[in-house]
Structure 1
């Protein structure tokens, strides 16, 4: 066979060296998928290898990278070595490719028993790896155990919390290499129609284009706040030059509560012409008795004296939450902080919450490092996709990001129109602590009446 001449972008050359884990990430036009497809086609044609091309979900062979690999086979005239079948590609008998096998699978078709069929494979290529779940990653890694075997991943970054991003960009294993490549690194990009598409997209929506073409995080089509978060960062309003002002307005804390789900807390302070968020906390498997001392400690750490705490605003359902005890979350926080320091946030429609969030985020500065986990959630907060109607619904998707988004939106509603705390009335009492003089249900009713909800 004549010598093959394979050209690759200079940026991708580190992926040619032997490594257990190889990653290529960035926006469209960087030739990531073309590089891996070509490598598999050439390797399978020149020596017997077995490769599996994987997506998290693959409903049919049309969803796979099969056609891209076929195109590479035809481009280099390798069809004499490789037999192209409907669901797989095999090396032809009597050629250097004899014994080669390329298959295409969705991880949803594997379980602990049948994934053992991949034990003897040489290469596993995960395309669109930003959607690859942690469970899939944990299942695949120990399965490919043949000496010298490699796992390849290509993806367009979505969220910093995606398992593949954490694996390669936050906690990379020793025997790994990851390359960030975008259209600027592809020497052939300007000769394709994609170049004009990219220019048009940047002109129409620079934020979306930066995600699609520039490989930036978090601007999915159904994103609720990503556009405004990115605008805030570009404007320098997400910065570490933000802190609590002891001579400023009282501190307000907005929250969303969960036990098995995540509880989230944003620390707000009004400023002239806007607001600051100087801290953020979240955690799971903790109830009100756990959170109260943690909040007190964090306020003290930031220099917030008790008299400078305005209120801790709890979500509307805090009245009913029990965390498997006879007392509600609201009652427990009142016991810890006092009735004047706890506010039940008035109920509101989700559309109104999102509208408030999109308004207030234009006027808020956020501490970048302290609030990093919360900001990641705001970038990932997105609407649920309705498969039946092929549209995004009006309700946010319930996932890890929803609690961060909800608690932020609650805070935006509060900042937009801070409600005065309910005043205790003579003759009523609250049996949750010393000095409280109001029944819990009466406090709730008074709060709702003050907000115009009843």
Structure 2
């Protein structure tokens, strides 16, 4: 029997060893995972063909308008790197197939061709590359099509992606799975023994010039900041300085619940609470709550669950806190006062209020500490909050009102209401009052 040695990053070797239903790898740029999976799917096709098994190797992505958007070129280069694979496969401009006629590569986009995958034939392996944007509907349709099995083998799903959102379906399905037949490993640039010198220069450049995006691009972290985001550099600096960590609430200090109000309609804006404490010059951010379309009782229940009773907590509302809810015909201010809370409604700052909150937040950011675990969702919103741009004219149009703006508005309000602590000046010697 002839054997061949295949060069893979060390961390991928156990991933491809033994039986599995799913083999998954995620991480940042330059890890070598895409080329490695391209090579291994060709190897697996070779093994099937040499065993007399006939079928297809499906290479899919969520978006594929043409073959130029597919994994075709990666697979070609991976095959050409190994003389024995190149001898087994016939490579054309638009196809790859085995010379014995048993194995064929098929390339498909899940956004358009998902329904037709059932008719692709006998799928031996399906590799979904760039899987971060793949929808839950696509996974639900695709996975049941992988039902082929034979003596000592079954159809497998392989998945590779660069993480972006913790909430993405690919994260919940595969990285978080405890299924013993799901194998997964994180792979980053340092795990690639052939990491190119050119990419190393790019990595160092990003680390120096784009520190707020470095973790996502190179270390497989989730996106916490868009380019041009208002607070991206401030969050990165807070992380570097250790101001994102274990900073629980001081039990002797007031909890200040800073709100951005939403509503109870189906299309209502999100309701947000940031729980803050002002401890001298420090703004300690201890918790975050956000929900959409829920009545005020839902948010009050969260306060009670966290121990933020009226005896310990006070609430700050934006100017529209006095406005009545369109469904329940009661204002947030009156409902919260009725629940026993001391409520302060911050007056409308008028035109330019959003930018005033942003500038105030930037000024006080060096004084802010975040309790890491309980504020993660809120910090993701702060990192995303960015300016809307007119690309044709190259001008800014103010904050973009998207999913991140509710938490960001409330956070800015909290920074706005913080006041410099008053320091008592000592009396001068010789001027003490005489009693």
Q: TM-score, normalised by structure 2?
A: 0.80
Q: Is the 8 A contact 2:258 2:273 kept in 1?
A: yes
Cα distance between partner residues in 2 of 1:70 and 1:360: 54
Cα distance between partner residues in 2 of 1:114 and 1:392: 44
Residues 404-415 of structure 1: pairs in structure 2 closer than 5 A: 404-415=407-418
Give how far 1:33 is off: 0.4
For residues 225-253 of structure 1, give each alpha carbon's deviation from its aligned partner in whole angstroms, at most 9, with x where no partner exists.
Answer: 3443333233222222321342x456242
Cα distance between partner residues in 1 of 2:225 and 2:258: 29
- Which residue of the other structure, out of 142, 145, 157, is the alignment partner of 1:143? 145
Match of 2:106, SS state, is: strand
Cα distance between partner residues in 2 of 1:173 and 1:413: 48
Q: Is the 8 A contact 1:312 1:343 kept in 2?
A: yes
Match of 2:277, SS state, is: strand
Q: Is the 8 A contact 2:224 2:379 kept in 1?
A: no
With over 3 angstroms needed to count, the CA separation of the structure-2 counterparts of 1:124 and 1:250, relative to structure 1, is closer
Give how far 1:49 is off: 4.0
For residues 70-115 of structure 1, give each alpha carbon's deviation from its aligned partner in whole angstroms, at most 9, with x where no partner exists.
Answer: 11222224445333345443333xx2xx23222222221045x434
Partner of 1:28: 29
Partner of 1:199: 204
Q: Is the 8 A contact 1:255 1:314 kept in 2?
A: yes
- Which residue of the other structure, out of 209, 232, 237, is the alignment partner of 2:238? 232
For residues 398-445 of structure 1, give each alpha carbon's deviation from its aligned partner in whole angstroms, at most 9, with x where no partner exists.
Answer: 24x443334333333333799xxxxxxxxxxxxxxxxxxxxxxxxxxx
Partner of 1:253: 258
Give how far 1:19 is off: 1.5
Partner of 2:173: 167
The count of residues paired between Structure 1 and Structure 2 equals 404
Cα distance between partner residues in 2 of 1:62 and 1:118: 20
Cα distance between partner residues in 1 of 2:397 and 2:156: 40
Match of 1:178, SS state, is: strand
Q: Is the 8 A contact 1:225 1:358 kept in 2?
A: yes
Cα distance between partner residues in 2 of 1:379 and 1:354: 13
Q: TM-score, normalised by structure 1?
A: 0.77
Q: Is the 8 A contact 1:218 1:226 kept in 2?
A: no
Pick which of 129-138 and 274-283 moved more.
129-138
In structure 2, stretches of 5+ residues that fail to align are 422-435
Residues 22-421 of structure 1: pairs in structure 2 closer than 5 A: 22-46=23-47, 47=49, 48-77=54-83, 78-92=85-99, 95=100, 98-110=101-113, 113-117=115-119, 120-147=122-149, 148-189=154-195, 191-219=196-224, 221-222=226-227, 223-246=229-252, 248=253, 251-259=256-264, 260=266, 262-295=270-303, 297-298=304-305, 301-302=307-308, 305-306=310-311, 308-314=312-318, 316=320, 319=323, 321-322=325-326, 324-337=327-340, 341-343=343-345, 346=348, 348-381=352-385, 394-396=398-400, 398-399=402-403, 401-415=404-418
Cα distance between partner residues in 1 of 2:9 and 2:411: 43
For residues 291-323 of structure 1, give each alpha carbon's deviation from its aligned partner in whole angstroms, at most 9, with x where no partner exists.
Answer: 23443x146x25x553x544332473772542x
CA root-mean-square deviation: 3.4
Cα distance between partner residues in 2 of 1:75 and 1:391: 48
